[in-house]
């Protein structure tokens, strides 16, 4: 089971806003581009998000389903990975002072991914999570900096 965490220097509400915006999936999920909500209201349980994965000239359409959602703190997804099957990806947000500790836990559920899962595969998932959490941090910290600047500007006019 691949578990990784990262402290993101942004308010947990900012991190949740990025996770809850289906159109921003490609901003933080490695290898993903052009995402769109296919059904339901993302990230409510049962909603689906379609996206494209690009591997050089190859483009593969995939889908992710929300299996569990506790608004503001937990999001559990089932990602469909074509012939590899499906994987469970659980994302937990914890308040950590003024920041957010993000914990990602991923493991195969169905299909060939479970049969192929081994220490080497686990290492690849860890590398992917490191990159994914770095991208999520960048998206959230940039968004958080913008929100803080707006709040300061509003405060200046009311002083």
Asked if residue 111 has pLDDT above 90, the reply is: no
Tell me the domain boundaries of the chain.
Answer: 2-157
- Indicate if the pLDDT at residue 90 is higher than 90: yes
Q: With beta carbons less than 8 A apart as the criterion, state whether 2 and 105 touch.
A: yes
Contact present, 62 and 53 (Cβ < 8 Å): yes
pLDDT tens, residue by residue, 30-89: 878 778 889 999 999 999 998 887 777 877 788 999 999 999 999 999 998 777 789 899
Under the banding of pLDDT at 50, 70 and 90, the label for residue 122 is confident
The tokens describing 50, both together, are 């379609």
Name, in order, each residue with C-beta under 8 angstroms of 127's C-beta and a sequence gap of 6 or more.
Answer: none
Q: Is the pLDDT of residue 103 over 90?
A: yes
- In which element (H, E) is residue 137 found? helix 119-157
Q: Is the pLDDT of residue 157 over 60?
A: no
* DSSP helix, strand, coil percent of the chain (3-state; round to 5): 40, 40, 20
Between 18-27, 30-39, 138-147, the lowest mean confidence (pLDDT) is in 138-147
CATH number of 2-157: 3.30.530.20
pLDDT at 152: 43
Per-residue pLDDT at 109: 86
- pLDDT for residue 14 is more than 80: yes
The b/e string for 102-123 (b: 16+ C-beta within 10 A; e otherwise) is bebbbbbeebebeeebeeeeee
Q: What is the mean pLDDT of the chain?
A: 85
pLDDT of amino acid 101: 98
Q: Cβ neighbours of residue 7 under 8 Å, at least 6 residues apart? A: 96, 99, 100, 101, 102
How many whole angstroms separate alpha carbon 52 and alpha carbon 133? 19
Dist. CA 145–CA 141, nearest whole Å? 6
The average pLDDT across 1-30 equals 91
Output 29-36 pairs: Cβ under 8 A, ≥24 positions apart.
29/132, 29/135, 30/128, 30/131, 30/132, 30/135, 31/55
């Amino acid at each position: 089971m691949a578990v990784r965490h990262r402290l993101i220097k942004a308010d947990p509400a900012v991190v949740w806003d990025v996770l809850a915006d289906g159109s921003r999936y490609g901003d933080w999920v490695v290898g993903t581009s052009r995402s769109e909500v296919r059904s339901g209201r993302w990230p409510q349980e049962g909603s689906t998000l379609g996206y494209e994965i690009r591997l050089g000239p190859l483009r593969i359409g995939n889908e992710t389903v929300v299996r569990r959602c506790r608004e503001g703190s937990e999001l559990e997804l089932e990602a469909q990975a074509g012939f590899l099957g499906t994987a469970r990806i659980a994302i937990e947000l914890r308040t950590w002072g003024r920041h957010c500790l993000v914990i990602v836990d991923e493991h195969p559920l169905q299909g060939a991914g479970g049969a192929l899962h081994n220490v080497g595969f686990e290492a690849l998932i860890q590398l992917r999570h490191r990159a994914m959490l770095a991208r999520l941090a960048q998206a959230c910290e940039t968004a958080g900096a913008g929100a803080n600047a707006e709040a300061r500007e509003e405060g200046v006019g009311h002083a």
